[in-house]
Structure 1
Amino acid sequence: MQGTSIKHWSEDDRPREKMLLKGTDALSNAELLAIIINNGTREKSAVDVTKELLAAVGNDLHRLGRLSVKEIVKLKVKGIGEAKAVAIAAALEVGIRREAADNKKDVVLNSKDIAEFLRAKLKYMKREVFVVVFLNRANKIMHHEIISEGGITGTVADPRIILKKALEHDAVNIILCHNHPSGSIKPSRQDEELTQKIKEAARYLDIKVMDHIIVSEEGYYSFADEGML
């Protein structure tokens, strides 16, 4: 097929040929998604179908990445059934995990070292979750875990569960983190009170709360950097 003009390929195959000839940077979001869904319908090419899908989410890949398989199907884009919705959701999740892996640090030296990793993992979540990172004396990350999941407006973390897990993992230091699906990274009064409650409880067990980080698509907020610990 070398040297064959793209126009001689079927419409569904053209994004693949374009990628081979010019690389991934040359493809639009719709063309990349068209490769994932493989084919379109009798009336529309795969690119036309994915353009319609993107239009349904305001041409926002971040928004599409937040949707579950069922929610993608509910958009009722002709040509996007459950199987293709699964493929799209899986591909977008791989992208999220790749970003998190790129930002993962083994040892935490400052808030940015852990904030970008946590932000990559949590920023697309539609519900608020509370995560704790457990570290040893050298600030090496031994474990991180979602402690609780809440609704769109908030979650509650139990200090007893956090400290029990800290002891299980022989943690000397811990970092608290939760996401704000609303986008705002400003801590609420409840966030501040919970942080102090966990900090005081941890002190009795010689465990230090190094930071509490709030993440969203807008960025992150560090209690430590802001002098709130």
Structure 2
Amino acid sequence: MKEKSTNISIKNWHEKDRPREKFLNIGKDVLSDAELLAILLGSGNRNESAVQLSQKILRSVSNNLNELGKLSVTELMQFNGIGEAKAVAVAASLELGRRRRKEKVMDRKKITSSAIAYEYFYPIIGELPHEEFWIVYLNNSNKVIQSIQLSKGGITGTLVDIRLALRHALEMRATSLILAHNHPSGNLNPSKSDKQLTLKLKNACESLDIKVLDHIIVAEKSYFSFADEDLL
């Protein structure tokens, strides 16, 4: 005998408990992550309301929104009740959130510490599954002129053209710069090649009277600063 569903549709909930109505009448700040996700989904499945389904999805990533943002459309569609349209809507919403965070950080335009440098670079490379090497070029007030991706590599490394880095610096009339690359593995320890590259760039820049202020290794939960560790 087929088990009868005991799920109660959100439509039958008290109005003040429905996510969409709570959003409109009370405000977005009072909604849980699951309720906000449920609004995106719109509906659940035969046995789960949209909120229950959202709770299940969040539990699968330990209630970590950063991890949720890494789920692909295909992975989202593994949940009963999530078709392609819903999966794309969720993925698109999370990508908008990531871009919003990136724009907010870049509006600061001035980098005066390793913590600010990490905050600047994290939305750019902090969640990537591969390594990328970036340079942010600064003027004499430590204000950002421009940030440029110098190279893109695999899971374990990337190659950097020092001449290209210097050419950009001269073109922008930068007086200093900050290097940054990510470690998808989460390991913050600089490799031998990381140290060698940093030294080569520092020596090359000194010949042009340009300072390398720091080299930040970006991971998902923390960072390593060459300047803070007296490696520059």
User: TM-score, normalising length from structure 1?
Assistant: 0.84
| Matched AA of 1:87 | A
Aligned with residue 7 of structure 1, among 9, 13, 30: 13
Q: Say if 1:187 and 1:6 are closer, same or farther in 2 by CA, change over 3 A.
A: farther
Count how many residue pairs are aligned between Structure 1 and Structure 2.
220
In the TM superposition, what are the counterparts of 1:63-212 in structure 2 within 5 Å?
63-73=67-77, 76-104=78-106, 105-212=108-215
Aligned residue for 1:186, secondary structure, equals: coil
Residue 178 of structure 1: CA displacement? 0.9
Q: C-alpha separation between the residues in 1 aligned to 2:76 and 2:132?
A: 22
| Matched AA of 2:96 | V
Q: C-alpha separation between the residues in 1 aligned to 2:71 and 2:208?
A: 41
Q: Does 1:49 align with 2:36?
A: no
Among the aligned pairs, what percent are the same residue? 48
Q: Say if 1:6 and 1:214 are closer, same or farther in 2 by CA, change over 3 A.
A: farther
Q: Say if 1:17 and 1:148 are closer, same or farther in 2 by CA, change over 3 A.
A: same
The answer (yes or no) to whether the contact 1:65–1:89 under 8 Å persists in 2 is yes
| Matched AA of 2:230 | G
Q: C-alpha separation between the residues in 1 aligned to 2:131 and 2:202?
A: 21
Q: C-alpha separation between the residues in 2 aligned to 1:41 and 1:72?
A: 14
Q: Does 1:17 align with 2:21?
A: yes
Q: C-alpha separation between the residues in 2 aligned to 1:8 and 1:224?
A: 56
The answer (yes or no) to whether the contact 1:6–1:18 under 8 Å persists in 2 is no
Aligned residue for 1:106, secondary structure, equals: coil
User: TM-score, normalising length from structure 2?
Assistant: 0.83
In the TM superposition, what are the counterparts of 1:33-48 in structure 2 within 5 Å?
33-48=37-52
Residue 21 of structure 1: CA displacement? 4.0
Q: Say if 1:55 and 1:163 are closer, same or farther in 2 by CA, change over 3 A.
A: same
Aligned residue for 1:103, secondary structure, equals: helix
Aligned residue for 2:178, secondary structure, equals: strand
The answer (yes or no) to whether the contact 1:152–1:181 under 8 Å persists in 2 is yes
Farther-moved stretch of structure 1 (120-129 vs 20-29): 20-29
Q: Does 1:218 align with 2:221?
A: yes
Segments of structure 1 that go 5 or more residues without pairing to the other structure are none
Q: C-alpha separation between the residues in 1 aligned to 2:149 and 2:161?
A: 12
Q: C-alpha separation between the residues in 2 aligned to 1:15 and 1:135?
A: 45
The answer (yes or no) to whether the contact 1:119–1:219 under 8 Å persists in 2 is no
Q: C-alpha separation between the residues in 2 aligned to 1:70 and 1:103?
A: 30
Farther-moved stretch of structure 1 (110-119 vs 187-196): 110-119
Residue 20 of structure 1: CA displacement? 3.1
